[in-house]
Structure 1
Amino acid sequence: MTADQLEIDTRSVFDNIDARQVEFEAEVDGDDYQFAVQYSVLEALTGEAPDGDAEIKFNQMIDAVKDASLAALSRDSDREIIVVSENDLDQ
């Protein structure tokens, strides 16, 4: 699956501290998906580990998060929650 644009529902952004990831819903080509961005992705993007500010870091790096999320979607479009990992940053 190749998509060009991902629209994040900013109201759905949630810092799941226990799972160490920021979760959100997004629309791609008219379809809705659930995503989870691992803290390690935010750390790789910002140079600092999230420490109570994962949502802030997520919003600061939103364009890079969108690109990585599209890469993860192309890899795992049939999963219930698409997990965005550091491997998706290189795509």
Structure 2
Amino acid sequence: MTDPRITIDPASLFDNVDERQVEFSGDADSDRYRFALRYDVVEALAGTVPQDGDAVAQVRQHLPRIEPLAARALARDYDQDLVVISENDLA
């Protein structure tokens, strides 16, 4: 699968504190996928560690930078129920 264009639904952002990730839905080629963005990626993008429920706000600020990362992760793991975006997708 080539890197599709992902459009993240901002209303779907959810801070899963227990798993240390922000989860959301995104559309690619008229299909909807579920994603999880690890806190370490949020930290790399925002320059600060997500704390006290501010992870969703940090993700909202960086959506244009996260969408290509989501596309890269989806191209790698398109058959997963939850596509995880990790630090490996930053490279």
Length-normalised TM-score, structure 2: 0.93
Partner of 2:77: 76
C-alpha contact 1:3 1:29 (8 A) present in aligned 2 = no
How many residues are aligned here?
90
Structure 2: gaps of 5 or more residues: none
Structure 1: gaps of 5 or more residues: none
Report the CA distance between 1:85 and its aligned residue: 0.2
C-alpha contact 1:8 1:26 (8 A) present in aligned 2 = yes
Deviations 1:6-47 (A, max 9, x none): 111122110111110000011101111000000000001111
CA distance in 2, matches of 1:42, 1:13: 13
C-alpha contact 2:21 2:37 (8 A) present in aligned 1 = yes
Partner of 1:6: 6
Structure with more of its chain in helix, by fraction: 2
Instruction: Give every structure 1 segment of 4 or more consecutive aligned residues whose post-TM-superposition deviation is greater than 3 Å.
Output: none
C-alpha contact 1:3 1:28 (8 A) present in aligned 2 = no
Trace 1:36-47 onto structure 2 (pairs within 5 A). 36-47=36-47
> Which one scores higher on RCO, CA 8 angstroms, separation ≥ 6?
2
